[in-house]
Amino acid sequence: MGEVVDRAAGADRFEVGDRIGIAWLRRTCGSCEFCRRGAENLCPWSKYTGWDADGGFAEYVVVPQDYAYALPTDRSPVELAPLLCAGIIGYRALNRSKLPPGGRLGIYGFGSSAHLTAQLAAAQGAEIFVMTRGEGNQALARELGVAYVGGAQDRPPVALDSAIVFAPAGEIVPFALQALKPGGTVAVAGIYLSDVPSLNYERDLFRERDCAVSPRTPAPTVRSCSGWPLVCPSYPGPRSCRSARSIGLWRILLTAGHRDRWWRT
């Protein structure tokens, strides 16, 4: 995240001096079947910040204007920056989990994205059940006042309406499915997941238990997260120092047209 310092011809969505953020999804083709139906995260020609183009450890960065996000100026960069990655991933997974209003949500693994997602779900009235293996992560979950904290493969004390697997461990998926009520959904949020073991139809899937995978996240969801009062933990050591130096220091040049077709082959 940072401020706009210049704009290319036709880039008029933001003004010079505006505070904006840049997320993982950088641009898409705009013409495939997925883009046309609003599922741009599934575009086979999508490009990504830090992977296909230089990312956020530079002082200056260039971004297509329709893949940048207006950010409030009354919140610190340390609070806002996590929403552009962990927040987007978690919010998308929460939507994919089909959690009903006031429902019971199971969270498997409790890193940065899960920590933000638990707060979002709780603010919407959900009851949160956390299953994770690390003592530090379990303590972090307890600090949020969730209903239950257990080990990664523990069964929650009540049946869940929905669950999200953040841990990159495929062996967790059957445990999450077994913890669901009939008709419940497990959303798998990781970009990487180890192999999922064989599932037993009657035990794991029968009575309309579903499993949804959401590893690639659409751009617009960050706008829906930025108004929530979230708490982002800080981490000691070199990683925290490096991040603190980079957050909020970008100078951003905007380019026009969020669907640049010249690179598509």
pLDDT for 53 equals 86
Domain 86-213: give its CATH code. Answer: 3.40.50.720
Collapse the DSSP code of 96 into the 3-class scheme (helix H, G, I; strand E, B; otherwise coil) and give the result. helix
Please write the tens of the pLDDT for every residue from 55-103.
767 788 888 998 899 999 998 888 898 898 889 999 999 999 999 999 9
What span, in angstroms and rounded, lies between the C-alpha atoms of 39 and 65?
19
- In the chain, the percentage of residues whose pLDDT exceeds 90 is 50
Mean per-residue pLDDT over the chain, rounded: 82
Give the start-to-end residue ranges of the domains of the chain: 2-84+222-255, 86-213
pLDDT of residue 104 exceeding 90: yes
What span, in angstroms and rounded, lies between the C-alpha atoms of 177 and 133?
18
pLDDT for 253 equals 72
What span, in angstroms and rounded, lies between the C-alpha atoms of 182 and 86?
29
pLDDT for 190 equals 82
Helix (H) or strand (E) holding 4: strand 2-7
- CB under 8 Å, gap of 24 or more: what pairs does 150-153 form? 152/108, 152/109
pLDDT of residue 226 exceeding 50: no
Task: Say which residues have a Cβ less than 8 Å from residue 186's Cβ, sequence separation at least 6.
Answer: 97, 162, 163, 164, 165, 173, 176, 177, 180, 209, 210, 211, 212
What span, in angstroms and rounded, lies between the C-alpha atoms of 41 and 251?
26
What tokens were used for 19? 């505070």
What span, in angstroms and rounded, lies between the C-alpha atoms of 2 and 53?
17
Please write the tens of the pLDDT for every residue from 168-225.
999 999 999 999 999 999 999 988 888 888 888 788 778 877 787 765 555 444 444 4
Taking alpha carbons only, the member of 224, 112, 142, 89 closest to residue 97 is 89
pLDDT of residue 162 exceeding 90: yes
Q: Which fold has domain 2-84+222-255?
A: Quinone Oxidoreductase; Chain A, domain 1 (3.90.180)
Contact between residue 259 and residue 30 where contact means Cβ atoms under 8 Å apart: yes
Q: What is the pTM of this model?
A: 0.79
pLDDT for 263 equals 36
